[in-house]
Structure 1
Amino acid sequence: MKPRSTRPFPPFKRERGLSLVELMIAITLGLVLVAGVTTLISQQSSTSRELNNTSRQIENGRYAIQVLRDDIELAGYYGAYFNIALDFPVAGASATLPDPCAASVAELDAALPVAIQGYDSPTTVPTALAACLADANHLSGTDILVIRRADTNVTTLDPSGAGAEAGQAYIQAGLDTSKVFKRQVGIGPDTSEPRVFTLKKMDGAVADLHRFFVHIYYVSPCNKPATGTTCSGASDDNGNPIPTLKRLALGVSAGSTAFINTPLVEGIQNVQFDYGIDKDNDGAPDYYTTGTYAQDGSTELVATDWWNVMTVRAHILSRNPDASGGYTDDKTYSLGLEGNVGPFDDRYKRHVFSETIRAVNPSGRRAQ
C-alpha cells in the first residue's frame, strides 16, 4: 500500500469578473461603435432623402414642361375647322384681348383667333382674370398663359341630338343649308328645338363635335389651401406651403359651364414665357417678346399681335419640395427675356427647365 502524498493541493483559483476600469472601457468602446453605426445610418438616410428630393424636382420640372408642350402644340386646333385667317382678317379687327374667363357662346367664338394669350409677370391678377382666378391663388410676379383649342377626340350626336353633355362648350365644323363650310360654337345639350348644332357632313349626317377648351396656366403659392379654395399663407399644405403649377379649365360643374381648378405639378416656383411673333406671315417667329411690348420695346401688344404667336419658349423654375439641411441657395437663375431671379438664400435646391415649343396649328396654316 502506497503512502498518501503529503504534498498540498494547489490553491483554488476563483473566477473573477471585469474590473470597474475594464467595464468602463468596454462601455466606452460600445458607445463609440453605436455612435458610428448611428452616424452611418443617419448619413445614408440623409443621402437617400436628398436623392429623393432631387428626383422629384427633376420629375416635376420635366412633367411641367410636358404638360405645357402638349397643350401649346395643340393651341388653335379646332377640329375640321381651319379657316381662322380667312374668317378673321387683320384689317379692322379688334385690338382688345378676349376675356379669358368668358363662357358665353358669343365670347368663345370671338376668341377663336387668339389661340395663345399671355400676361407678363403680373404682381396682382389682371382685371380680365379676376372673375375666375383669385389674387391670393396667384404667385405674384409669375406669368399666366391662356390656351384655346378643341379636344382631339370627337363627340358624335345621334339624329335626336343626344350625345352632347349639358353645360359643355363645343365647336362644330360642317356645311350649312347652303352647303357653305362653316364653324359653330355652342353649349350642350342639343335635344330640343331649335337645335344648337345644325351643321352637316357631306352625307347629310350631323357633323361631329369637339369639346372647346380654354386652359389658364398659373403658379399658385400653395397646393392645398388650409381651408376652402384660397391660399392663405403659412398654414397651407399642412404648414409647408408648396408653390404649385395649376390650371383653370373651361368645363362643366353641376350641369353648368364653369372653370374647374386643378393642381398639376408641385414645386414649380416660377414660370416665364417668351412668345415668338411672326411679322411676315411665313409661320416662323421674327422676334420674341415677354408678352408686354412689340419688337420696338415700347408699343404694347394687342389682340392682333397675339394672332401671330408661332412659338413659345417656356422657362420653369422647379424647387425641391423639402429643405436641405446645411444648404444655402445663393445661385441666380435665368428665365429667358424676363431676366434672372435669385439668390433666394434659403435651404431649397432649384433647377431651371427650358424648351421652345411650336404652336403647330397657327404656324402650320401659314407655312403651307
Structure 2
Amino acid sequence: MLTMQDLLVAIGVVINALPGGLYALTFGFASVPTAAGFIIGAVGCGLLGVVTPISFQAETLTLAGTMGRTVQERISMIFLEGVILLAVGLMGLFKVIVGFIGPVITNAMMAGVGIVLARVAVEMAARNPFVGGASILAAVATYYLTANPADKLVYTIVSCVAVSSLVSVFLNRRQPLAVDASRERFVLQKLAFNKTVIRGALGLSALNVGANIAFGNITAQTLAKTEINLDHLTIISSIADIVTSLFGGAPVQAIISATGAAPHPLAAGVLMMVIMAAILATGLLVKIGKYVPNESIAGFLLVLGAIVTVPINASLALSGGIEGPDSIVGGVTMTVTAIADPFIGMLAGLLVKFLINSLG
C-alpha cells in the first residue's frame, strides 16, 4: 500500500528528472517516445522486484550526445548498446564481466566520465556565460549549503535550473530549446551503423556496466537496505533503450533514486516512472523546455562530475598508492576514458593490467 510519503518522494524524484529530460532534448532526443521507456521500466521493475528505477541519466546522455554527430547516430548508439547489454543480462554474464574488469578499472571509468561531465559544463558556460555561470554558482552554493547528503543533488539540480532560468529571463539571453515537433510521436526511425556508432555503443555499454553497479547498488543496498539482481536491472534498462531509440527517444538508465529511502521503495520507484511516462506522453516536457535555457543544467553537470563522481571514484581507483600497480591501471583508465570514451579506457586499463601482471 502506497503512503503519502511514498507519493511525495516519487514526486521529488520526478522534479529531479525533469532537467535531465530537458538536457536530453538539447541532443535532439524526442520526449514523447521516451515515455515507452519509463513504462517498460515501471512494468519490469514491478514484475522483477527491482527497487532501482530507470530515468534520465546525465552520464549516458552526455556520452551519447557528445560522441554522436547527428540524432540518427545517437539513437543508433543507444539501440546497439541496448542490444549488447540485453544479451549480457539474459545470459547472466553481468557478474562475470564485472569480475573480469575488476573494481579498479570500473571506478576509473566512472571517474573519467565525471571529467567529461565537468568539461561539458564548462563548455556550456563558455557558450552562454551569464546563464551558465549563474547555473554553476547556484549549483555549487546549494550543494555545499545543503546539510543532508541525501538531499544535496536534488536541491542542486532544482536550484541551478531555477536560478539560471530567472537570469536568462531577466537578461533576455534565453536560447529556447530547438524541438522538432514532427519527431514527437511514435514513428520508427532509420538507424545507421558506422564506426562512430559502433564505438559509441561500446563506450555506452562499458559506461553502463559501471553505472549499474554503482547506481543500482547505492539505491538498493544503501538506501533501500535490500539486494538487487543487476542482470535484471540490465535487462530492464536495455529493453527500454531498444524501444525508445527505435522511435527517436532518449536513453533511460539506472539512477541513484531517493525512492530507495521511501517506506515502500519498489512501489515508490514504479510510481515515479509512471508519473514521468505521463508527463512525457502528454508533451508537457516540451512545453517546459520553452522556458528553460539549454545551459541551465551546467551547474548540475559540474557538481555531479567534478565534485561527486571524480573524487569518489578516483579515490577508489587509486587507493593502492601513487606508485602501486592498481593506481597505474586506474590512472591510465581514467585518463584514456576522459580523452576517448569508457570502452577505449577499459581496454587501455586491461592492457596495462595484463602487462603489469606479465612483467611482475
Q: TM-score, normalised by structure 2?
A: 0.24
Q: TM-score, normalised by structure 1?
A: 0.24
Point out the structure with max Rg over C-alpha. 1
Greater share of helix residues, 1 or 2? 2
Higher relative contact order (CA 8 A, sep 6+): 2
Greater share of strand residues, 1 or 2? 1
